[in-house]
Amino acid sequence: MTPALKEWAIAIDALTSGKMILLLRKGGIREVNGKFQVAHQRVWLYPTYEHQQPQWLKPPYNQQIQSVPSGWHPTPVRLTSWADITHIFATTDPAAVPALLPFHVWNESFVLEKLRWKPRQPLYLLLLRVHQLQTPYTVPYQADYGGCRSWIDLTPDRPTALAFDQDPTYPVLTDGEYADRVKAIATLTASWESQAESSNQSPPPDSSATPR
């Protein structure tokens, strides 16, 4: 079995072209020893089409897709890239919604809905170091790849297929470019955390108040 992360095809195109490094998730993440972790740090990026809708995307991405019938999927499925999940942040702060807009393909309404869904559960920010295949790989579609879940295990059609180091790949961003984008997003998350901490602190007592 080979781990894969499902995501809208338009988002995977943006990741693979180096236009973004960020995915947003609710669930599928666990906390171990105080750190958010995923089951697999290195994953194939598996494109999905059924749920991507123009009304949930920013321009110009909203003009680059067409709605498909429920249950539709390509046969076979074309894989163009894999990624290392290098950082995971979490937030419940509504300020994250407008602040993150420059870093992904979705519009504000979509991210706000995602944040509000299961409000006690944080919105996870996954930062991906993406590598593109020089020659895309195709996998036969299987029914267990469907459904509303983020993580799947691909079954290759030959033993050496889908090995991350088997076929030539290249990172879509340089080390410096990727580090700069990580820093920008990490700086935002740090600012939300500091604001939350300050808002949770009790104000100092008013020394001018008359004792009762």
> How far apart are alpha carbons 23 and 126 in whole angstroms?
5
> Is the CB of residue 39 less than 8 Å from the CB of residue 27?
no
39 domain-assigned: yes
212 domain-assigned: no
Question: What is this structure's pTM?
Answer: 0.86
206 domain-assigned: no
> How far apart are alpha carbons 39 and 41 in whole angstroms?
7
143 domain-assigned: yes
* pLDDT, mean of residues 73-101: 93
* Domain limits for position 94: 2-193
Upper half-sphere CA count for residue 107 (Cβ side, 13 Å): 13
Highest mean pLDDT among 26-30, 75-79, 83-87, 202-206: 83-87
DSSP conformation letters of 66-133: ----TT---SSEEEEEEEEEEEEEEE--TTHHHHTGGGSSB-HHHHHHHHHSSTTSPEEEEEEEEEEE
Predicted pLDDT at 171: 96
**In this model, does residue 150 exceed pLDDT 70?**
yes
Output the domain CATH number for residue 139: 2.30.130.30
* Closest to 115 in 3D by CA, of 22, 24, 207: 24
Name which residue leads in pLDDT, 32 or 138: 138
Provide the domain count of the chain: 1
Q: Which residue has the tokens 């995977």?
A: 12
Tens digits of residue pLDDT in 18-73? 999 999 998 767 656 666 678 889 999 999 998 899 999 999 999 999 888 887 88
**In this model, does residue 201 exceed pLDDT 60?**
no
106 domain-assigned: yes
204 domain-assigned: no
175 domain-assigned: yes
Q: Which two tokens stand for residue 171?
A: 């990172």
Predicted pLDDT at 194: 58
207 domain-assigned: no
> How far apart are alpha carbons 156 and 139 in whole angstroms?
7
3-state secondary structure of 180: helix
Predicted pLDDT at 195: 56
Q: Which two tokens stand for residue 204?
A: 């100092």
